[in-house]
Structure formats: structure tokens, C-alpha cells
Structure 1
Amino acid sequence: MKTPSAFYKPLAIGAPEPFREIPVSLERMIHFVPPHIEKMRAKVPDLIEKVDVVLGNLEDAIPADAKSDARNGFIQMARDNDFGSTGLWTRVNCLNSPWFLDDIVEIVGAVGEKLDVVMLPKVEGPWDIHYLDQLLAQLEAKDGLSKPILIHAILETAEGVKNVEQIAAASPRMHGMSLGPADLAASRGMKTTRVGGGHPDYAVLSDADDGGARAAYQQDLWHYTVGKMVDACLSYGIKPFYGPFGDFSDPAACESQFRNAFLMGCLGAWSLHPTQIGIAKKVFSPDAGEVEFARKILEAMPDGTGAVMIDGKMQDDATWKQAKVIFDLAKLVASKDADMAVIYGF
């Protein structure tokens, strides 16, 4: 482990200084684009106005014979567009693949100044982050970049979950983590083919009642892992996210899974289909009524101390902190989303 004095030093001569704190940005939905498909790249200018993050996907769902085309397509879409306040990310291929090194070297060299975050799949431990950290520093120095590129880890193996705290603490480049439920299910030997969400067989039964029918209540397969990820991320000042929800035909279940993650502390989720953009925007923007109640608490307790009664409920320093989380998020949403700013009264 690096000593505290060395933690924030660049890992290559001439590389930019690491961030001391992760830049504040709105990331309710990370929208995946397959950049090897020209008609999908053509939709990027419109997407920039609708989403918080545009991600060029180079890994899963890209056929092996299209990996180079996807990489080149991402570079082209990065060059062709002004992303403004919308984030530009890429999910590269995993470290043990034959495409990873070319992904990083070619993309950083071509469009590194525009790139905000590299999403790294199948992170097993801090050693994976250390390798990419050093490589990015060397390329930033070589290509004369002015700002560091951040790393976002996908938590999708049993070993990665086991090492989640060390991953979160591995580098000042760490932006955050996303839950990858499909690969994680396979890694754990879970008996499901679903991508995120619940499962009808993962349930608890109501008590028996004179031999009558017993109600079954479906449980959340991912509750433990999301909670563990959120604790690790927030402990080290980085951002937790839910990943994909694969059933595009069930928007209600998608919204439920996203909302569970939001309530537990996640800041956003992946959108793999255009219909999921609106769901993520709705879920990860705080409810207007909650924002108004949070405003009342903050106004009644300007310095966050003491106790007051508001609408028949006692508020103290702990609920003041809760209110500040809601209100600060609402201000961040309003800074980019004019419609929500009106709803919130900002």
C-alpha cells in the first residue's frame, strides 16, 4: 500500500496531478452505445441532450470480429461531438483479453482529453486498478493530457466482492463502482439466467394458516452486494451505481430494481435501451415532495444543531444530514435538468 504522502503523486513524470476529490457531476444514467454500428453513432448528438453519461461499449455484446471497429467507432464519435456537461466514458475489454491494451493506448492517444472515465470490467482486486492506474499515467504523460482519466470498476466476480474495500481504496483515480449482476451470478454459481432484478423462486413464505394457501414474497437477490458496495464506496469518497437490468419488456421491474438501489445509496444505473433512460431519470432524481420537506428541515435548522418539530415529526442533527443529501442532489439535478429545476422551485 502506498504511503499517504505518495498517494496523490502522479505515477509518471509529466502526468497530471490526481484529483484530491472526485469531480461533482450528475450521473443518473450511464447510457451504453455500441460504437461499431454507424446508425447508433449517428444518434449520439441527440443522446447528449437526454442522458447524463454516454458510454461507448467495447466489451460484452460486441462480437470478437467487431472489437477493432468498436474501438475506432468510439474514437470517431468522441471526435465528432461536443459533450458539454454530459460525461464521456468507455467500457474497455477486460484485462486478460487480447483487446485491452489496444483499447487503452489507442483511445487515450486519440481522444484522451475528452475522455472522463474508463470503466474496467471484472475487477478482482486492487492489483487490477494499480495496473491501469500506472498505464494511464504513462499515456497521459506521453500524450500531454491536462487532466487525469478516472477509473470505474465493475463488481462482477466473487473475488471482486470479497475485495471490494481494497478496490475502492486502490487509487485516487477511482471514480466509483457498478454492480454487474450477470457475470457475478455466474461467478458465484447462482442458479439464474436473469440480468439483474429478482427471481420468483427467491422468496419467503407467509406463516401457515389452517392449511390454506401461503403467500410468497419475492426477495432482492442483490441487496447484500449493493449494500456492501455502497459502504465501501462511500467510505472512500467514490460513487456506487447499479448496473444493467436486462428485461426491456418489464419497465416496472426495472424501475423497482433501480429504486431499491437509489434508496440504498446508489447515484445512478446503466441504461441499455432508450426506454430505460426515462426510468433512470425518474428514479435517480429525488421526489419533489421529499425535496420540499428537506428544504423545510434545512431552513428550520440552519446550522444543523438542535431539534425541531416539522409536520408533526421530530427533526434533529441526524435527519438534518439526511435532508442535506436529498437537497444537495436536487440542486445537482436542477443544475443540468431545467424541467426538474422548475419542479423543485429552484
Structure 2
Amino acid sequence: MSKPAKKFFEPLAIGAPQPYREIPVKLERMIHFFPPHIEKMRAKVPDMIKNVDVILGNLEDAIPMDAKEEARAGFIEVAKNTDFGSTSLWTRVNCLNSPWFLDDVTQIVAAAGDKLDVLMLPKVEGPWDIHYVDQLLAQLEAKHGVKKPIMIHAILETALGVENVSEIAAASPRMHGMSLGPADLAASRGMKTTRVGGGHPFYGVLEDSKEGGAARAFYQQDLWHFTVAKMVDACQSNGIKAFYGPFGDFSDNEACEAQFRNAFLLGCVGAWSLHPKQIDIAKKVFSPDVEEAKFAIRIIEAMPDGTGAVMIDGKMQDDATWKQAKVIVDLAKQVAEKDPALAEAYGL
């Protein structure tokens, strides 16, 4: 059962901030993770934020069990003592059934609720998970006088979560978006791979047999195409954002770029960067190609009201291609605000 429309945007606690009716417009090409339990990494945050769209303090996977409380305290220290400017501050808390989740949320909101933009929630399996965190955040925001709502970003990393992806996307006005979590999802599905994202050399299509027994071509396929597309549809139909998650092979930049680009073309707005070298890959991929942006601008200029049909370089443009062009131009404008070099290249 879903809430009546009139109830959907009501605060869930007296004194909690009014939920957003639309997600704030921000450039989020990469969500850059840092481990807050390591002092030297905390010291690097002021420099990191100059180069990333989102900085995320990770409290979950990759943080040793005996460092969970230190990581939480380290994140709070960074949040309280850093001016993040236009860079968004996120944290990935521990999963709901862990011994650390409740302390993660209660302590972070109490100490740094007004600094935190988004709470990333792992292993979301259904709208019930979002409903619980939504209510909890509202109560904590009211208790501690937090002035803006903390948004929720769900990680899609179980088979049940994929099954319920549309209901998760529609669960709350606090929903910011979703990320694909390929490693946990692979395990949950029983997939036979140890890779963190990317393709697999054994997953593909074999060319039909040829006369004389000639060699047959094998075309590797994308393991994640269906799931990413399903996630994008759920997010876009509910006005929230879709992201590709981690790419674990730091030695293969080309494969990382290819995976990010597949996600970008399918509708994702960004991806996780787990290594500094992936920051520039995400910037490159999730910013519109210069020539494509210029062509999209020409379409918009030729059809100012978005109706009719025109010919540009021998290609027909109409209402539908105008909408496609607007997606690219809107993104190019966001990028241009943050990147003077690309602004000049786009002609914006």
C-alpha cells in the first residue's frame, strides 16, 4: 500500500525539514570514496574535494570490523572541520542488519547532520528498508535541528532489490538515486564471477559455424546491461538518479572507461571512483563529448520551441531528437559551470 498523494511530501516527524519536491540539481559525475579511519586519507580530503563532484566517507565494505567505530568518528571529524564548497558530502553507512548501522546514523546526524547531503544505504531489498530509514532520519533531523533533509541513495546489490527496484525508487521523496553494486549482486544471484563490475571473457555470443571448420568469432557481452537499464528506467520514471557503482580492476583503465561509458549511454549520471585514477575517467565519460554537445546545441538553436522538423548535415531532426539534444545540452551546461575548459570547448 502506498501513501495518498497529499501525504507523500509531509515531514515524517514534527520539526523535521520539509522534504524536497525535486532533487537539487547538482553535477555528480563521480562519487569518490575515502576510508575515514585512516588519518592520512582524512588529511587529503581538503585537496580531494577540489577535484571531485561528490566525496563519500565509507563506513561499510572495505572497512575492517575493528575499525568501524574509528571510521565513523573519522568521518564526523572530517564533516565538522571541512568546508566542502560546491562538493557534495555523502557517507555509506553499514547495512541495516549490522551492529553498526544505528550508531552510524544517530551519531552522524547528531554531530554533522547539516553538513551531510546524502546517506548511501547498502543492500536495499524493498521499500520497507527506505521507509524505516526515512522515518528515522526525520526523527533525528527534528531532534537535532537539522535544517535541510538528508537524502537517501540506495545500492542495488541483491536479487530481491532488483526485483523490487521500481518500488524502491518510489518509496520516499527523500530518495536521491541508486547505484548498481555488481559484486554483492553477483553473489546474491549466484553468478559465477569474481570480478567487481565489467564484463567476463566467457560471457558472450559465438558466431554461427562456418563451412570447412573455419574459426568462429566470439563477441563478449555486458553482464550488467539488463540490470543497469532496469535501474535507469525505475529511477528516471520516479525523478531520481541512476549511477553505475564500482569497477574493481584498477590496472585496466580502458575496461573501466568502457564500463562507465556503457552506463552513461544507458542513462546513468555518474559512477563510483575507488581509486584516484578513476576520477578523471569518470569526468571524461560522464561529461558530454564536445562534438556531440556542439551538434546538440545546433539542434536546439534550429528548433527553439522544440517542434517541427529541420535538416542538419543531412540528418532529420524533429521533436524526439530535440528532446535527446536537450538532455545533452542541459548536462553540458552543468559541466560548463564547473569546468571552464569544457565550457569554452562547448561554446557555452
TM-score of the aligned structures, taking structure 1 as reference length = 0.99
How far residue 338 of structure 1 moved from its aligned partner, in angstroms, is 1.9
Partner AA of 2:78 in structure 1? M
SS at match of 1:145: coil
Q: Structure 1 residues 335-344 or 98-107, which shifts more?
A: 335-344
Report matched runs for 1:130-141 at 5 Å.
130-141=131-142
Taking the aligned partners of 1:296 and 1:337, their CA distance within structure 2 comes to 21
Taking the aligned partners of 1:340 and 1:91, their CA distance within structure 2 comes to 31
Deviation digits for residues 301-343 of structure 1 (CA, Å, limit 9, x no counterpart): 0000000000100000000000000000000111112222122
Report matched runs for 1:59-138 at 5 Å.
59-138=60-139
Partner AA of 1:171 in structure 2? S
Question: What stretches of structure 1 move > 2 A for 4+ residues in a row?
Answer: none
Alignment: residue pair count: 346
Taking the aligned partners of 2:108 and 2:342, their CA distance within structure 1 comes to 35
Taking the aligned partners of 1:99 and 1:47, their CA distance within structure 2 comes to 27
SS at match of 2:272: strand
2:41 corresponds to which residue?
40
1:161 corresponds to which residue?
162
How far residue 344 of structure 1 moved from its aligned partner, in angstroms, is 1.2
Correspondent of 1:214 among 199, 216, 220: 216
Deviation digits for residues 72-103 of structure 1 (CA, Å, limit 9, x no counterpart): 00001111211111010000000000000000
Q: Structure 1 residues 206-215 or 101-110, which shifts more?
A: 206-215
SS at match of 1:43: helix
User: Structure 1: any 5+ residue segments left out of the alignment?
Assistant: none
SS at match of 2:147: coil
Partner AA of 2:191 in structure 1? M
Correspondent of 2:300 among 281, 298, 301: 298
1:245 corresponds to which residue?
247
Correspondent of 2:263 among 256, 261, 264: 261
Deviation digits for residues 5-39 of structure 1 (CA, Å, limit 9, x no counterpart): 11000000000000000000000000000000011
Deviation digits for residues 222-262 of structure 1 (CA, Å, limit 9, x no counterpart): 00000000000000000000000000000000000000000
1:308 corresponds to which residue?
310
Taking the aligned partners of 2:120 and 2:341, their CA distance within structure 1 comes to 30
2:286 corresponds to which residue?
284
TM-score of the aligned structures, taking structure 2 as reference length = 0.99
Correspondent of 1:340 among 334, 339, 342: 342
1:322 corresponds to which residue?
324
Taking the aligned partners of 1:264 and 1:254, their CA distance within structure 2 comes to 16
Taking the aligned partners of 1:258 and 1:80, their CA distance within structure 2 comes to 33
Partner AA of 2:241 in structure 1? K
Q: CA RMSD in A?
A: 0.5
Taking the aligned partners of 1:270 and 1:141, their CA distance within structure 2 comes to 31
Taking the aligned partners of 1:48 and 1:38, their CA distance within structure 2 comes to 16
Taking the aligned partners of 2:173 and 2:341, their CA distance within structure 1 comes to 34
Taking the aligned partners of 2:341 and 2:87, their CA distance within structure 1 comes to 17
Identity over aligned pairs, percent: 78
How far residue 213 of structure 1 moved from its aligned partner, in angstroms, is 1.0
How far residue 209 of structure 1 moved from its aligned partner, in angstroms, is 1.8
How far residue 207 of structure 1 moved from its aligned partner, in angstroms, is 1.9
How far residue 206 of structure 1 moved from its aligned partner, in angstroms, is 1.3
SS at match of 2:261: helix
Taking the aligned partners of 1:246 and 1:183, their CA distance within structure 2 comes to 13
Partner AA of 2:278 in structure 1? Q
Taking the aligned partners of 1:250 and 1:126, their CA distance within structure 2 comes to 36
Taking the aligned partners of 1:278 and 1:143, their CA distance within structure 2 comes to 38
Taking the aligned partners of 2:254 and 2:42, their CA distance within structure 1 comes to 29
User: Structure 2: any 5+ residue segments left out of the alignment?
Assistant: none
